Amino acid sequence: MNSQKAQEFFSAYYEGDLEAGLKEAFERALAADPALAEEYRQFKIALDLFAREADEPIELPHDLHDRIMQKLDHHDWETKRSAKTSFFGNWRLVAFGGLAVVAIAAAFVSVILPNQGQRTATGNIGGSAPAKASTTLDAVLIEGKLNVRVSAIGSDEVVVRNAATQEEVKSISAKDKTLDSEIATGSDTAVVLDVLPKNGTGLSLVVPGDQAISASKSEGTVRDCALAMADLFRSPMIMRVSEPDRLVSWEFTGSESVSDRAAVLKDQNLTLSLRSDGILVLSD
């Protein structure tokens, strides 16, 4: 049996379907031709990989295409057999091309199917990756003055806007550090400021105006109530409410303690708390 004929029996030999006479002739051909034996070894490896890919997703190497082409590019070997090449003579093109398809499909299935109905931010193969680095924001009082505290991992540009007018009040640049930036609105009445990082969750601040009021009784939105309290009690406030435009009612004389104000707001399904640093937090 010559080498070209032996190629046609690769599959049958692998499956154990060759009758005894052909099997012996095939094995003699392998023993006599090291190049043929190496070709069959690669054929067997490819089919073994096929067998396990259905149940075992693989990680695709970045140089998969190059490695496949290297397997196919036995120019001299192919030239010798170019005169009469059967389907089995092109087994490498079929096997390694098919292997690449199976590998890509396996990777697709391992990523897409487990996450149907459970979409995540990372989209990683084989487990969760660390969450994307983000900027955290807070409000602090430094020597009685309101500051925005920016804690950035990486580079970020934080914009402070007047929520009512959308005018930019301030821009804060930070990179791999925590910094405090003083906020002054210059407004006679309280304003809501939206503090917006590129990476991370924004913060809503209610900043008292320059002129105080003596009392407040009204109906309006949660935002309106927060503005009234800021001007009446002269206290900056972090507002963490899901519906700032929800209608509520309130009545304050200006003499109420924080606990008294909290009791009034509780009836409106709002919570008011005072942090140790003097910043009020309004939430729902």
| Cα–Cα nearest to 169, from 146, 194, 189, 151 | 194
120 or 252, greater pLDDT? 252
Alpha carbon distance 238, 273 (integer Å): 10
Instruction: Give the pLDDT of residue 134.
Output: 81
Identify the band that residue 56 occupies on the pLDDT scale cut at 50, 70 and 90: low
Does residue 45 register a pLDDT over 90? no
Degrees to nearest 5, angle at CA 112 with 110 and 115:
100
Instruction: Give the pLDDT of residue 68.
Output: 59
Q: What is the pLDDT of residues 203-240, one digit of tens each?
A: 999 999 988 888 888 899 999 999 999 999 999 999 99
Instruction: Give the pLDDT of residue 176.
Output: 87
2 or 63, greater pLDDT? 2
Instruction: Give the pLDDT of residue 119.
Output: 36
Q: What is the pLDDT of residues 59-96, one digit of tens each?
A: 555 565 566 555 555 444 455 554 444 444 455 555 55
Alpha carbon distance 36, 92 (integer Å): 13
Largest CA distance in the chain: 109
CB under 8 Å to 171, separation ≥6 — which residues?
157, 158, 159, 160
Q: What is the pLDDT of residues 138-173, one digit of tens each?
A: 999 999 899 999 998 888 999 999 999 999 999 999
Other beta carbons within 10 angstroms of residue 231's beta carbon come to: 23
Spans of all domains in the chain: 3-115, 136-283
106 or 276, greater pLDDT? 276
Identify the band that residue 117 occupies on the pLDDT scale cut at 50, 70 and 90: very low
Burial class (CB in 10 A: 0-12, 13-18, 19+), 48: exposed
Instruction: Give the pLDDT of residue 103.
Output: 52
Instruction: Give the pLDDT of residue 129.
Output: 47
Task: Tell me the pLDDT of the chain averaged across its residues.
Answer: 78
Q: Could you tell me the CA-to-CA distances from 192 to 74, 116, 201, 210, 234 in Å, in that order?
A: 72, 40, 16, 14, 14
Torsion angle, alpha carbons of 224, 230, 232, 233, to 10: 150
Alpha carbon distance 174, 135 (integer Å): 9
CB 278 within 8 A of CB 141: yes
Q: Could you tell me the CA-to-CA distances from 126 to 50, 53, 118, 119, 269 in Å, in that order?
A: 21, 15, 15, 14, 43
Q: What is the pLDDT of residues 6-42, one digit of tens each?
A: 888 888 888 888 888 888 888 888 888 888 888 888 8
- For the entire predicted model, the pTM comes to 0.53
Alpha carbon distance 45, 51 (integer Å): 10
Instruction: Give the pLDDT of residue 262.
Output: 94
Token pair 């409000």 is at which residue? 139
158 or 118, greater pLDDT? 158
Identify the band that residue 108 occupies on the pLDDT scale cut at 50, 70 and 90: very low
Q: What is the DSSP letter of 259?
A: H
Alpha carbon distance 215, 211 (integer Å): 13
Angle between helices 64-72 and 91-112 (to 10 degrees): 160
Looking at the DSSP bridge assignments, the partners of residue 250 are 218
Q: Could you tell me the CA-to-CA distances from 210 to 17, 65, 164, 194, 269 in Å, in that order?
A: 94, 68, 17, 19, 29
Instruction: Give the pLDDT of residue 163.
Output: 92
Average of per-residue pLDDT across 99-114 = 48
Instruction: Give the pLDDT of residue 66.
Output: 60
Instruction: Give the pLDDT of residue 170.
Output: 92
Instruction: Give the pLDDT of residue 284.
Output: 87
Backbone angles phi, psi at 215, to 5 degrees: -160, 165
